[in-house]
Structures are given as structure tokens and as C-alpha cells.
Amino acid sequence: MTAMSSADTHCPYCALQCAMTVTHQGETTVTGRDFPTNRGGLCAKGWTSAELLASPHRLRMPLMRRSDGTLAETTWDEALDAVAAAFRDTKAAHGPDANAIFGGGGLTNEKAYQLGKFARVALGTSRIDYNGRFCMSSAAAASNRAFGMDRGLPFPVTDLDDAQTILLLGSNVAATMPPFLAHLAGARAAGGLIVVDPRRSATARLTEDGAGTHLQAAPGTDLPLLLGLTHIVIAEGLADRAYIDERTSGFESLRRSVAQWWPERTSSTTGIPVAQLRETARRLAAGGAYILTGRGVEQHVDGTATATAAINLALVLGLVGRDGSGYGTLTGQGNGQGGREHGQKADQLPGYRSIRDPEARRHVAGVWGVDPDELPDAGIPATALLGELGGPVKTLLVAGSNVVVSAPDVDALRQRLQSLDTLIVCDFFLSETAELADIVLPVLQWAEEEGTMTSLEGRVIRRRQALAGPDGARSELWIMAEIARRLGAASTWSTVPAEVFDELARASEGGVADYSGLSHALLDTGVEAYWPYRAEGTPRPFTQRFAHADGRARLVAVDATPPTPTDRGGELTLVTGRYLQQYQSGTQTRRVAELNGARPEARLEIHPATASRLGIREDALVAVSNERGTVRARATVTTDIRHDTVFLPFHYAGDECANRLTEALVDPTSAMPEFKRTRVRVTPDAAVPAVAAVEHGPVVVSEHPGVDRAAGGGAASGVSVAGGHVGPDVPAGVSVAGGPAPTGVSVAGGPIERGASTPTEEEIHV
């Protein structure tokens, strides 16, 4: 009889970090577990996550590029010797900054911490950043500036349950984190869910039938909208002057800056009627209100200013740091919060410390056992770092990211990756980035490892091992330790996650993101651990004071200046976003049969009037192009999008990759790329033959043992998912295993169960 193993852990996908139990006995199953964020529910991605563990597409041995250009399996010793030699030779020939690291927001806290240490101690390079720069950097910059601290939600997500009004900008949570919808139920019942989106997304549809308001603003006009709402709040005497005087600074400058955004001007810029603007401002001022922002607000060249404007509105209303109201930003990646706290960012040391702070350098160097003067200076952010590939940067290690799909202007990036002396990729599948690598190192997945993650609430949680990984796969902790040993690096390099976490805790002590009171053993007791955590956790850090020295929040005046470069390239504005059944660059979800069967291809959403004018019909193949490239997709003609706007998902590769069109233009403060406002042309694509949609399998650049070239296929052998059915009135993907939903999970008036198949976003009924 096969031995059974089981572990209580958390979902491998988004930052909601839904709790689940993984059980392995010949086959691997997942069941939802009661937890404040998900209350037993899981989305379609969570339910099918076990399929990834036994996928026939897993990488099981290291791969190296042969002289004939193909990839072939090799031994770990040969692969790691080659990696160490590449780093050593590059440093000797070109200096330490010719070596670079690109990390990921899905890595555990332990691995993110060790990656930052590895770059600065083992390689001595300042060239490290991560894909969180594409997700959270604008919100982080705005929060640090306003509050002195960047914690996505400075309150538990359950605080939203009793909200009367929730203003949600730039986030389609019905597609990105469906169990989160349960926390919107109170605002919907009160008629107070207000969703800002140029699309009538699944989340925008939640406002129908008296549940709230959809503000269908023109793309890229969130900043004028927020400035206009702040103007109304001040002009109509809705501002909380006692709170402003007691807890903030900078109000007079802010008041003058929003004076020019009177309602009529705001309306003409955003396309939102004046009456709706006034109604929104008054509702927010009526009490019990929260303002939440997501990537749609932040992924712009004015993303930091827009996030700042949202914070200003919340502060002027007196929402932040009070019971029953607040401001927060919805972290996207699984460890997007923790991944940026402990050393992956170009300018940060563990504990959210500045690498240019002499005291921070002294403290962290002391923990690492090195001279502070030996630590490199601050590096450069992700887009600039990727721009150096093949030039100043000669050797790159990518861990936990698929930049060939996720970065802006990917055709140009692909050329730079191919011009490197050495590209090393750590992954568990042969992603599009790994296909280009000289050395590919297979790593463990979520249920095969121990560690910690930090959720969108700033809650530190335990990831636990439920089963062993493939024989040839290794943890990144082990990989970094082995390379460091070969390089003769200073310091110690533990491969035990609990030991690495203890070192992280010491390194973070006294920092803004202080984990010093935590350990794996303490977390295993079930303690609620919100950082900063010294003697106890801090679920609501702003109730008494903000993190600036004087305890006050900063109101920072910003203005809306339309960026000229994005006006080039066509007559329509392209916005990018997500599908319910896909995730990020699709490296995982495009290999799950159920998910990819529901969303096998990218579809261009286009308004009927625009489609008619351009001669485009439903399901027609179209070319979406500008000076950077061309994307080919099938058209979905829908009134859910504005006539001046088109939409593409960003999960797909090759000719379907939306980031072939986006520009490597960044916010001057956060270095966030402009993903959400790209000018394009759309034309019928008669040159492309009509083909049936196919499932995406791994695309392998050469024959080599151990990597399956076949596309598609069903669930891997030995993998199953708890059964059930989908009720008729359930938002897609919100589910619990095998029976009625626990209290509070149901969003749409019926039990929510695991489905045998996954409905598409168009089939959501609320």
C-alpha cells in the first residue's frame, strides 16, 4: 500500500494565498481549508494546482546547450561547474556588474532573501531586480512616500466584510482572485461597490442590479478621476478636517493642486458623467468606505502619481488607520509582498532597508559576516537591467520569472537575451525564457518545499512540503549554496529553509519589514503573524501613527500630464489584463488541460462599432500592431469595452504575446513599465489561415532526453481534483470541495462547489 502524506499549505498562485490541504497517496489531491482570506474556497487555478506536480512536462534534470545549438540533459555537477565558471570568467573579464540576477515574486521569503544575498556576497554585483517591478513598484513607491511603509493591505482582508462602500480601481478580482469576492458582499448588499474599469469586466458586472456603480473611464484616466473626486470632496465640505489636521501634512498644497480638476473638466477627460462623480465622492464620505487599487492603476508611466492620488483621496476623507474604513493595494503575485522586502529589489537590503543607508549596510553585513564596504551600491530597476543585457551585462541568472512573455517590448528583449554570453534559468518547466538558456536548472514546486510566504495582507504564512519532488530537481537554496561554494564565497549558505528564515529574521531586525520575532516553529503554532513582527504582529499598523518620524502621513500633490510617447502607433488604445483560467505568463496554467481548454488562445476584445468600421467580424483573425511588433489573435466583438479601446490578455507567448506591443517606457519614480496604455492599429488578418484552437504544451527548441515535446494532453497520471459541480449562479472559479460552501463564501446566492469543468468569464452570472 502506498504511504500517504499530507500537509496544510497555501495555493501556489496569487497573493490571496488561499489555504489548502495537499494529500498524496499515489495521486495528489487538493482541498480548500478554512482560512480568513478564502474560507475554504479556491478558484479554478487552485483546484487544478495538483496537476502541475506530476506533469509530464516537468524538468527533471539540468540541461546544457550543445555546440550544435540543442539542449541536452547533463549532471548537476557539470551544470553547476559551468554556471560557476561563467560567473567567475565574466567578473574577471568585465567586473562584478557584468553578472546579473533577475528574480521573481513567486519565490518564498527564504529564496528571495538568499537570492539577494547571493547577488551581493557571492557575485558582488549590484545588478539584481525582479518581476515585482512590473507589478507593485508604483504602489510601493506611493505608499512609502505617503505612509513611510509599503504594506499592500494595512488591515486584514476580513475588515472589508462590513464595508458600506468599496471603490475598486484597476483590478478585476473576479478573474484574478475569485475567493476575494466574498469580502465584497457587504458593499454589494449596500449598493456600494464602485468599480473603475474601461472594460465591463467580470468584476464590473458585480455592480449591476443595484449592487453598485461601474465607472467606465477612458483608459489611462484614473489619475484625473482621482484628482477630480478629491476636488469634489474638498469643494463640497466632505473632507475630514479634524483628521487632516491631526494626522497628515501637506493639505494646502494638495488643495491648490486639485483646484483645476473641477467636475466638468474631470468628466470631459474621463468620460464619466458629472452626476456619477458627485455621487461617488458623497458615497465615499458617508462612512464605512475603502479605496482599493490594482495593477490597472499602477502599470503606467504616471502610476506612482495615480497611486498617490488614491492615497490622497483616502487621507482627505479620513479613511486610513480607522476601524471600518481604509486604503490598500492588491498585491498580485503569490509572494509579491515578501519578495520585495528582503533583497530582490535593486536598492534594498532585508527588512525593506535601503542599501545606501550606512547603518543598514552595517547591520546586514554583520549578519552575513562580511565587511559592509564589500557590499555593492544600489543597482538599477528591472527594465533598465534588462536593457543592459548583451551590453554591460554578459551573464544573467533568471529565477522564477518568464521575461520573454512578461516584460515590455519582448521582441527586443529576446534579441538581447540571445546576445548574452551565458543565460542561466531556474524553472520547473521549459518556459519561453528557459528555451533560450545556455543552462537550465530544474527546481522544486510549491508542494515539494518548505518555506514562508507573505500575503497581500502582510500576513506571514507557512508553505509546507506534502510530497517529494522529482529525483533530479533541487531547491534554489541548494543551487545557490553549491554555486557559492564553487566560487569560494564568504558567509554561510544553509540549504535548510528554517535556518535561512532565522537568518532572514536577524537581518530584518529593526527594519521597516521586521520579521525578527518570527520563526518556522512559531508560525507552525498557527499564530497570526502580520509584519512588522517583533514580540507580536501588527495587523493594522496605522491606527495610532504612520511610519514617518513625526507619525503623520504625507499628502503629496500630483498632477496629470498625458505622456506623449504613448500617443504614437495607432488610433486605438490597447489595455492588457488577465483571464480567470490563466496566470501571469502562463508557464503553469497553459500546461493544465482544464484551464487551457477553457482559455486556449488570446482573444482581442473590440467594440461592435469599431469592429464594423474596421471590417472585423466575431472570431475573425486580426493583426494588432505598432512600431514594436504585431500580435495575431481572434476577435471577440463585445459592448463590454469602449469604442476607443481594445483588450488583450498577457498570458500567451509567440504571435499571441501582448507584450510584443508594449513599450519599455517607465514611471520616473517607480520604474514601472507602461503596460496599460499602448497605441495600436487593428486590421483583419487575411494572411493567417483559420485554425482550430489547440492546447499549449511546452515548446522545445531541440530534442533532448527528459523533456516531452508533445502539446496538450489531459491530466498527468496520478493527479486528480476533488469532484462536484458548478451551481448555476456562481461566479466562475469560487469553489469549495465536495459540498456546500462554508458560511460567507457564497457570493451569488447559492452553494459554491468544485466544478468538473471551468466556465469561461463570459459565463459568469452575478
Residue 296 predicted with pLDDT over 60 = yes
Residue 465: CB atoms within 10 Å? 18
> In which band, very low, low, confident or very high, does the pLDDT at 694 lie, cut at 50, 70 and 90?
very low
What domains are defined for the chain? 1-54+722-766 (2.20.25.90), 63-135+342-495 (3.40.50.740), 137-329 (3.40.228.10), 567-684 (2.40.40.20)
Could you tell me which residues come within 8 angstroms of residue 24 by beta carbon, excluding any fewer than 6 positions away? 4, 5, 6, 447, 466, 467
Q: Mean of the per-residue pLDDT values for the chain?
A: 87
pLDDT band with cut points at 50, 70 and 90 for residue 569: low
| Percent of the chain whose predicted confidence (pLDDT) is above 90 | 77
Question: Global pTM?
Answer: 0.88
149 by Cβ neighbours in 10 Å (0-12 / 13-18 / 19+) ranks as buried
DSSP state of 585: T
Distance CA 96, CA 634 (A): 46
Structure confidence at residue 543 (pLDDT) = 96
Residue 649's SS3 state is: strand
Do residues 23 and 31 make contact, with C-beta atoms less than 8 angstroms apart? yes
Does the pLDDT at position 443 exceed 60? Answer: yes
Using alpha carbons only, how large is the chain's radius of gyration in Å? 25
pLDDT tens track for 632-656: 999 999 999 999 999 999 888 999 9
CA quadruple 437, 440, 443, 445: dihedral sign: positive
Confidence label for 232 from pLDDT (cuts 50, 70 and 90): very high
- The phi-psi region of residue 459 (left if phi > 0; otherwise alpha if psi is between -120 and 50; otherwise beta) is beta
Question: Cα separation of 20 and 43, whole Å?
Answer: 11
Query: In the predicted model, what is the mean pLDDT of residues 248-269?
Result: 97
Measured distance CA(447)–CA(20) in Å, rounded: 11
Q: Sorting pLDDT into bands at 50, 70 and 90, what band is 703?
A: very low
Question: Which value, to the nearest 10 degrees, does the dihedral of the CA atoms of residues 348, 350, 355, 361 take?
Answer: 180
CA distance 163 to 187: 5
pLDDT tens across 181-208, in order? Answer: 999 999 999 999 999 999 999 999 999 9
Paired sense of beta strands 289-293 and 326-329, if any? parallel
pLDDT above 70: residue 718: no
Give the span between the Cα atoms of 106 and 132, in whole angstroms.
9
pLDDT band at 686 (very low <50, low <70, confident <90, very high): low
Report the helix count and the strand count for the chain, using DSSP H and E. 23, 29
Residue 136 exposed, middle or buried by CB count within 10 Å (0-12, 13-18, 19+): buried
Given this model, what pLDDT does residue 2 score?
Answer: 59
DSSP for 19-87, written as a single string: EEEEEEESEEEEEE---TTTTT-B-HHHHTGGGGTT-TT---S-EEE-TTS-EEE--HHHHHHHHHHHH
User: Which three cell numbers, joined as nine digits, stand for 532?
Assistant: 512588522
195 by DSSP, 3-state: which?
strand
Cβ neighbour number for residue 279 with a 10 Å cutoff: 14
Distance from C-alpha of 639 to C-alpha of 636, rounded to nearest angstrom: 10
pLDDT in tens, 137-182: 899 999 999 999 999 899 999 999 999 999 999 999 998 899 999 9
